[in-house]
Chain A
Amino acid sequence: MAYRSIRERKARSILTVLGIAVGITAIVSLMSVGYGMEEAITDELSGMADIIQVMPGKITGMSYVVTGGFTDRDVKDLQRISGIKDVSAMTYDSVEVEYRNEKKTTFVLGGDTKDLESIYAEPVGLKEGRWLRENDYKGCVIGDYVANDFFDEVIHVNDKLLLNGDKFVVIGIFEKGDMMHADVDRNIFLTLRAAKEVLQTDEIKYVMVRVYDIDEAEEIAEEIEKVINDNHGLEDFATAMTMGSVLDQIGDIFNIIRGVLVGIAAIALIVASIGIMNTMLMSVMERTHEIGVMKAIGAKSSDVLTLFLFESSIVSLVGGVAGCLLGWGVAIALSSAASMMLPGMELAASVKPGVLLGGIAVAMIVGTLSGFYPARKASRMSPVEAVRYS
């Protein structure tokens, strides 16, 4: 009977189903894309689980305050800590680049060429030329954006650039960087010695440590902080982050993002539930006479209540299922659109069964709850008055 009445009021039922479906679509797709992003990043990072990043600064909440720079002594002390495979020091800062009389500002990054190769050159790849060697004192490798989009004219291998006035030869050009290496595009890579000279500093801005045993990473990170803090006589000079703690932080950030997404979706659902309530109230009004007849021929208040609740739960079940399917599709579409717009970034939506089931459950709960008030109103009608209503 509920089914008949839904079918009889086709247009309105479809609109109500659509309302619920849109809300559930929002929840399912946004959550799936969120999970997909998190998984993509986590996958990338867990391949680097043996890395400890050491930065001269303090992370408080979500901000990073730079406290200074490391010295060569810090690097030497780190190399003495047991369990550490290698230590690579890097420095970076902004630099003025001149190419064919055009000047721009970008970042220079210098470090041990072998280390830089394994961090950047191997995963991203070179499109032209070759990677730096330790004796390429006047050579540089540039990112895709620097080469193609930065200046009016495209830069090729063997072209010459001025970095803070010093002449360098381009010996290699990167492919476009992916999600994890997007910073490559706008950077210029030098040997550590050349970078120190161009930037006129001895300070090391970043140290990357590899450990032998991933399980010891946390302990070693603590030791690193202690050694450097002692060197500088400060409590919070250095921050050593294992990939594990980076993953934790990313997890936290994604929880916040997911919270916001779910909040947006919740608003959509509230609108949908008002829609259901409205539809059901109209249905109750319209069927006042019918309710009176049903009561006159022996329906109890609870029968009428059940009937209307059943009707709203069918509508919301259909809406929930449709929303899940739509959300699935939208999540896939969104992530492939994102992958297309950000080349190199492989983002697959992660549609979890739990999210789908949750979506249907939320639809049912919201739908049944918003159907409750109209249903109760219907069930409490006096049969005499309801029969007389026309």
Chain B
Amino acid sequence: MNLIVCIKRVPDTETRIRVDASGKDIDESGVKYIISPYDEYALELALRTREAAGRGEVTVVTLGDSAAQETLRKALAMGADKALLLSAAPVADGLATAKALAAELTGVEAPLVLMGVKASDDDQQQVGPMLATLLDRACVTGVASFEVAEGKVVCHREVEGGTEIVEATLPAVLTVTKGEHEPRLASLKGIMAAKKKPLEEKTAEVPVSRLQVRALAEPPARPPGRVVGEGAAAVSELVRLLREEAKAI
């Protein structure tokens, strides 16, 4: 079973975000980059699916500049078989991104395309269902686990206050959230093997972005914190403040 996993290079979630001089982007100095965490969950599920099937290939795809090669190598080290870098400057318009992926994936024989439910940089949470719509494939979002059956995929999905079991016809696009399996760490052997695995690079066809970032700002500072007191003795004062000052209860 062939699977495609779309991944994105994003700043480490522990990064303190600072805005650069342009006022529209982040200051990249000192920022460490990782595979977006939800994309790692997607990759883990893809690898497990391939392992359970005992055949097939997992191809990782990313849209980005040459720095994303390193991100793809990490995915290869985790166990993906092949990598494809769609070379282009990432854009803020999720639909333009989805179109660039759709142009590449049209006609590609892969019953499942997986990606994280959202990228942890721009948090758009839209490329998966857009890609599925453009490819006229089934799409299930927020999938924690799935099983492939004859002609369909059965997904466990997180929704407000519970879970759903959803069946989708194949081929399908699934967006993945955290489930029971933590992404595997790359072994030394995996890292060595990744250097020899195929990493293809081609220029992406990204349409003009019709969603423009005009400004990026750090969040308004909260007023400095105030310690009401120590221990259970401070509770009465806290409750008074919550009721009379904050009017929160």
Are A and B subunits of one complex? no
Residues of chain B having any CB pair with chain A under 8 Å: none
A residues neighboring B (CB under 8 Å): none
